[in-house]
């Protein structure tokens, strides 16, 4: 028999949410090795609160990534419901590009060998691939994109286009992904 997980108190959940939002913001500007104090000040909590919920830095990094993966994945169905298939795909790819392009230091952390990150690549593909596949299939059925591109290929291509380029920012990544997206048009 498995026990049901204990519900968090509302104030504890607010603290976790504030820490995750602050960490997301700090990591985007200062990288994943930013001082804990920078995160706690932005979150409006003490350092003890940070370490109570996230005992290791890797726990916080993994939680931020998992939360961001969920946000991007959840955007797919909403975009499909509100836009034409090709536009929904473009908007989702823009959102995915923002996710990948603002994660300074995350790739190095993920490949550090820390066991806290072991499940993240699988979780990423489990959440993102079906969403992008649905967007691609719908756009392909509408004749708006090629049919020979897989969700996995596109996820990797965007990630590669979002590698840091000295002197460039997220806008640069967005332009490069827009070029890739233009190449998804069906062949004549």
3-state class (DSSP) for residue 92: helix
pLDDT digits (tens, 9 = 90+) for 87-107: 999 999 999 998 887 776 666
* Same domain membership, residue 96 and residue 160: yes
Kindly state whether residues 45 and 65 are assigned to the same domain: no
Taking alpha carbons only, the member of 178, 39, 153, 28 closest to residue 100 is 28
Write down the pLDDT at residue 114.
Answer: 82
Q: Containing domain of residue 158, as a range?
A: 57-182
CATH of the domain at 41: 1.10.10.60
The 3-state secondary structure of 102-139 reads: CCCCHHHHHCCCCHHHCCHHHHHHHHHHHHHHHHHHHH
Shared domain check, 106 and 81: yes
Residues 39 and 108 in one domain: no
What's the domain count of the chain? 2
* Whether residue 123 is found in the same domain as residue 146: yes
pTM of the model: 0.82
pLDDT in tens, 53-78: 999 998 999 999 999 999 999 999 99
Task: Calculate the CA 49 to chain-centre distance.
Answer: 25
- 61, 101: one domain: yes
Question: For residue 188, what pLDDT is reported?
Answer: 45
């Amino acid at each position: 028999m498995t026990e049901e997980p204990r519900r968090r108190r509302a104030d504890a959940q607010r603290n976790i949410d504030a820490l995750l939002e602050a960490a997301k913001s700090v990591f985007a500007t200062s990288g994943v090795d930013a001082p804990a104090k920078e995160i706690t000040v932005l979150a409006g909590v003490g350092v003890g609160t940070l370490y109570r919920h996230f005992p290791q830095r890797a726990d916080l990094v993994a939680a931020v990534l998992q939360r961001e993966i969920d946000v991007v994945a959840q955007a797919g169905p909403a975009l499909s419901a509100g836009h034409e298939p090709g536009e929904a795909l473009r908007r989702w790819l823009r959102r995915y590009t923002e996710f990948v392009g603002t994660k300074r230091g995350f790739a190095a952390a993920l490949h550090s060998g820390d066991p806290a990150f072991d499940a993240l690549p699988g979780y990423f593909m489990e959440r993102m691939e079906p969403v992008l596949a649905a967007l691609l299939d719908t756009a392909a059925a509408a004749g708006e994109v090629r049919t020979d591109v897989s969700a996995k290929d596109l996820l990797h291509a965007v990630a590669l286009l979002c590698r840091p380029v000295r002197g460039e920012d997220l806008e640069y990544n967005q332009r490069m992904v827009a070029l890739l997206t233009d190449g998804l048009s069906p062949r004549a």
